[in-house]
């Protein structure tokens, strides 16, 4: 399972604690002492550019000079305050967004539904489609790929399993590679998080596996898509 990585924040020592008397409880003469924390830590105001629309991330309709990478970067651009130094985060510090975690959870459910005891690239693809609200899901939908057809193609290729399926289902070697590539894609875009669009880029970059065959059977060549990206 993908694991959300928690980033720690070092609070400066200039934290003042002030105590004050706040009066009495209702119906009681005992004074209540409350403690108010005053912290002079200031964080810059960050603004996230909204997604520009369903067709905005369709690599097949991309204008000259626009690619899937540039569209992902534009859709997730965070404006930094003037004078702020941008320091790329190490891959070990990348966190998974809620959408990325949901994709992996759905991938696990797809493996369980098919009776498979491993999560492969095909389950990650189904998770990306099934998540429904992320950039990756919108890109795939704009290419005419839907969950029903993708499930049919996956079952045609892999069939249904009959073995025991554990609560925690491990990834195949190729699926692990896709997850690693997704972190590399996020790092190249200057992001310190992994979202659904990075998982899609990692899946396309992987180029092999059942997911690639499913995309080809549905009329979308992953190699050509990634070259355009």
Q: Which domains does the chain have, with CATH numbers?
A: 54-228 (1.10.1780.10)
Q: What angle do CA 59, 133, 201 make, to 5 degrees?
A: 40
Assign 88 a pLDDT band (cuts: 50, 70, 90). very low
Query: With 0-12 CB in 10 A as exposed, 13-18 as middle and 19+ as buried, what is 74?
Result: middle
Q: Is 185 helix (H, G, I), strand (E, B) or coil?
A: helix
Average predicted confidence (pLDDT) for the chain: 67
Assign 164 a pLDDT band (cuts: 50, 70, 90). low
Assign 133 a pLDDT band (cuts: 50, 70, 90). confident
Cβ atoms of residues 198 and 186 within 8 Å: yes
Average pLDDT, integer, range 62-81: 45
Regarding pTM above 0.75, the answer is no
> Does pLDDT of 194 surpass 50?
yes
Of the chain, the end-to-end C-alpha distance in Å amounts to 27
Q: Is 35 helix (H, G, I), strand (E, B) or coil?
A: strand
> Does pLDDT of 122 surpass 90?
yes
Q: Which residues are within 8 A (CB) of 70 and not within 5 positions of it... i.e. 6 or more apart?
A: none
Cβ atoms of residues 166 and 105 within 8 Å: no
Element (H, E) at 225: helix 222-228
Q: Is 229 helix (H, G, I), strand (E, B) or coil?
A: coil
């Amino acid at each position: 399972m993908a694991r959300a990585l928690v980033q720690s924040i070092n609070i400066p020592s200039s934290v003042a604690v002030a105590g004050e008397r706040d009066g009495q409880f209702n119906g009681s003469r005992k004074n209540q002492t409350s403690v108010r924390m005053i912290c002079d830590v200031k964080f810059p105001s960050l603004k996230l550019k909204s997604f520009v629309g369903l067709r905005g991330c369709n690599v097949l309709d991309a204008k000259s000079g626009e690619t899937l990478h540039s569209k992902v970067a534009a859709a997730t651009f965070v404006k930094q305050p003037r004078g702020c130094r941008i320091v790329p985060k190490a891959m070990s510090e990348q966190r998974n967004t809620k959408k990325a975690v949901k994709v992996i959870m759905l991938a696990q459910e797809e493996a369980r539904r098919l009776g498979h005891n491993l999560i492969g690239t095909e389950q990650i693809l189904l998770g990306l489609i099934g998540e429904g609200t992320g950039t990756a899901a919108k890109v795939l939908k704009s290419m005419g790929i839907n969950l029903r057809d993708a499930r049919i193609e996956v079952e045609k290729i892999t069939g249904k399993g009959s073995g025991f399926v554990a609560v925690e289902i491990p990834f195949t070697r190729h699926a692990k590679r896709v997850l690693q590539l997704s972190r590399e894609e996020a790092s190249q875009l200057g992001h310190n998080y992994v979202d659904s669009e990075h998982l899609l880029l990692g899946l396309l970059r992987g180029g092999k596996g059942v997911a690639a065959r499913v995309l080809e059977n549905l009329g979308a060549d992953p190699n050509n898509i990634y070259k355009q990206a």
